[in-house]
Amino acid sequence: MTITLSLKSVGEQSVRTERDLQAISAELHSQDALEWRAISGRVTPYDVAEELTRSRTRARVLTTRAESSSSSEKLASAQDRYDSAVDDELRLLSVGRTQEAEEVDEAEVDPAFDAVMDLLQEHSGAASSAAARAQWLSNAGIVITVALGLGLTAFVENRRRRAQLRRDAERRSEARYRALIDRSSDLVLVSDREGVLSYLSPSAQRVLAVTGAGAGTVVGAGAGAGAGAGAGAVLNVLALVHESDRDALRVALQQVHPQRGVTVDVRLRTDSSMRTLAISVQDLTSDPAVGGLVLTCHDLTERHELQQQLEHRALHDTLTGLPNRALLAERFAQVLGASADGGAGTGSATALLLIDLDRFKEINDTLGHHYGDELLIQIDPRLRQVLRAGDTIARLGGDEFAVLLAGVGDLETAVAIAYELQEVLTLPFEVEGVTLDVEASIGIALSGMHGDDPAALMQRADVAMYAAKQHGVGVAVYDSSIDGHSPERLALLGDLRRALSNDELILHYQPKIAVDTGEVCGVEALVRWQHPQRGMIAPDDFIPLAENTGLIGPLTTRVLELALGQARRWVDAGEALQVAVNLSARNLLDERLDRHVAELLTRYGVAPALLKLEVTESAVMVDPVRARAVLQRLHALGVQLSIDDFGAGYTSLAHLKNLPVSELKVDRSFVATMQTDSSNAMIVRSVIELGHNLGLSAVAEGVEDAAVLKALAGYSCDVAQGYHVSRPLPADAFERWRAAWPGIAEHQAIAG
Ligand code: C2E
Ligand code: CA
Ligand code: CA
């Protein structure tokens, strides 16, 4: 009986110890989980501190009890070591020294945890054999022992698996990071302060034509010939850089420090060409994983090329490659400025000749555009037969050309040259075996005699050209008495003034849709003039007139009133839509524009974000400083801004970056022809990418068919506008269109 009783008490004691040991490992398990949450960055060390302390206290109470019964002191000191290792780790974490914390975790926390677990298992073994001796008295003890033994093993395995998982995760994220670097078009280099390279990403090896053994080659072993270094030689990034940019990069390498990166633009020699790169230098010398300066090189070459191409297009006619009206105006201003500087001596007068082909339309209509185009291409070489090398020939549009005779001297010479030009143009042209005859009318204006600024001289040469045409005289010199242009203009101008007060201006609305969903995301308001006698007049036929006569201010006000009134009606009907209004260059010079817009928004009770203002790049370029100030103030109001007709005018990407705009509209001349003209398609794609790089939403206008819309989706274009979606419509017709608009999927299906 006594024996039985004592055996029974041994059994009960063991079972209690077993339970304590189980509870201790449960506490350790929860401490481990807390520590894991901190080291894996899900919470801060502070977030787990309190819970950790509580768990430790509980574990200590249990340990003291279990120890007294198992006569071992090792468990407590093992827990001490574990606690202090965890404390070290969390301290490092809390000051952001993650890397070191992870090292402590692996080198100290892990083994300390294992040691505690080993001891717990050992004790559990002792306790369970004691329990086994009393098994016939307490079957429950055995059951618990078995469960506890399994539990401990499971915890230890958890911990090991966790370490393994972490190592896997690290490997995975390293692999991901490496894949990113491998695939990035950015070149990644690691160098020391002298520029000596220790790492080139695969893209860098490709571009710099460094032949090496696979990704992440450490240079020194296999520097390539293309980079100018022999095998085994040390490769220096400075040697790859264009001489005149070398100092800038050298300074960047010397000056960069861990707290502040440096960025420099340099030209870099590659296997085949010179590339412009923006290099950002980061100092990661103290990061053992890198141990050097990291140079991330972003290739700007394509952007520069796009800029050059756009600039060329902005100033040249696509068909003939001749300078266009803008470039002519620029050269004209230069020539006049130079002759003004040089004093008005003989030979300083400049003549402007405007040439209009007389029978061109006939050729186009009867033989087709192809013949017309080929003929236009032959005009330049024809004129060159007569002209001096320095004379400028420009195509102003259609069948209109201009010739600038700088320093022609006097009117007689200019007239003589004009007759010669007229004569060579009357000689037959041959296009694909067909002989074509044209005639030309030429108008002449001479600087000094007929005006001093390019705009006035252009207008006068134009008047003279019409006179030559009207009277069939071939060549005419400007004469103020033949300036029949004015009366008609004056009449229309009077009409326009009336139109503003008589409500003859109306707006049509054209939807802008999201390319991916087809959702209608706004409308552009386009003005029309309902003239009582002449009928509907298109904006291109009266906006320029308004711009040249100071009427554009009142006109824009009227358009804003109509557009905001409509925006308000849509808001009231519960279907708010953003309305875009076009601004002219003149509007951007108006310092009070923002106050005026703010007042109108208040008057109509329309939220600023529902108004978008579209401005062209060339309008901004008229006076960039003033325009930017006006745009900044409009932006501050909360009004959205958009760059219209992008690619068609003067293009200054540098300026674009500093404007508070949110949208870039690709000019419709590129979009409409992108299916047939691959260089236009390239431009559309590049402009969309450029817009995205600048954080702007890209809009393509002039979308005339489903194929273009589909191609735009492939280019990740955000918004589309064009006849394919809808023509500009009066408000009521627009509302009917909107109610019936099925969204993009169905629309594509309908459109085939
Ligand atoms: P914009 O700002 O580039 O306006 C787009 C023009 O493209 C509109 O001509 C529109 O009808 C036309 N369009 C739209 N989709 C297509 C398409 O798929 N294919 C083609 N070929 N054309 C399409 P609209 O209405 O004749 O306006 C011409 C220009 O007049 C506008 O060009 C804008 O510069 C100016 N404008 C129109 N309304 C105003 C205004 O209220 N104020 C000012 N300052 N200018 C205006
Ligand atoms: Ca527009
Ligand atoms: Ca436009």
Q: Say how far apart CA 391 and CA 408 lie, in whole Å.
A: 10
Q: Say how far apart CA 478 and CA 464 lie, in whole Å.
A: 5
Q: Say how far apart CA 112 and CA 105 lie, in whole Å.
A: 10
Q: Ligand 1, residues 513, 579, 582: which to mutate, most atoms within 8 A of Cβ?
A: 582
Question: What's the gap in Å between 603 CA and the centre of ligand 3?
Answer: 28
Ligand 1, atom 35: closest residue by C-alpha:
539
Task: Give the 3-state secondary structure of residue 476.
Answer: strand
DSSP string, 356-408: EESSHHHHHHHH-HHHHHHHHHHHHHHHHTTS-TT-EEEEEETTEEEEEETT-
Stretches in the chain below the pLDDT threshold 50 = 1-8, 134-151, 212-232, 343-346, 484-485, 750, 752
The CA-based angle 527-532-534, given to 5 degrees, is 80
Question: What's the gap in Å between 455 CA and the centre of ligand 2?
Answer: 25
Ligand 1, atom 14: closest residue by C-alpha:
722
So what's the pLDDT on residue 133?
Answer: 52
**Residue of 495, 479, 579 whose CA lies nearest to 545:** 495
Q: What are phi and psi of 270, to 5 degrees?
A: -120, -175
Q: What are phi and psi of 315, to 5 degrees?
A: -115, 0
What six digits make up the tokens of 120?
């717990």
The separation between CA 183 and the C-alpha centre of its own chain, rounded to angstroms, equals 20
**Residue of 22, 3, 20, 25 whose CA lies nearest to 133:** 3
Closest approach atom of ligand 1 to CA 704? 18
So what's the pLDDT on residue 400?
Answer: 92
Q: How far apart are the first and last CA of the chain?
A: 98
Question: What's the gap in Å between 668 CA and the centre of ligand 2?
Answer: 10
Q: Say how far apart CA 596 and CA 445 lie, in whole Å.
A: 41
Under DSSP, the state recorded for 691 is: H
Q: Say how far apart CA 372 and CA 543 lie, in whole Å.
A: 29
Question: What's the gap in Å between 568 CA and the centre of ligand 2?
Answer: 21
What six digits make up the tokens of 467?
């006179």
Closest approach atom of ligand 1 to CA 552? 44
- Residues 567, 611: contact at Cβ < 8 Å? yes
Q: Ligand 1, residues 504, 645, 664, 701: which to mutate, most atoms within 8 A of Cβ?
A: 701
Question: What's the gap in Å between 582 CA and the centre of ligand 2?
Answer: 5
Closest approach atom of ligand 1 to CA 540? 30
So what's the pLDDT on residue 249?
Answer: 94
**Which residues are near ligand 1 (CB < 6 Å)?**
510, 526-527, 538-540, 543, 559, 582-584, 614, 644-645, 668, 672, 701-704, 722-723, 728
So what's the pLDDT on residue 155?
Answer: 54
- Residues 229, 211: contact at Cβ < 8 Å? no
- What Rg value do the Cα atoms of the chain yield, rounded? 40
So what's the pLDDT on residue 149?
Answer: 44
Ligand 1, atom 3: closest residue by C-alpha:
645
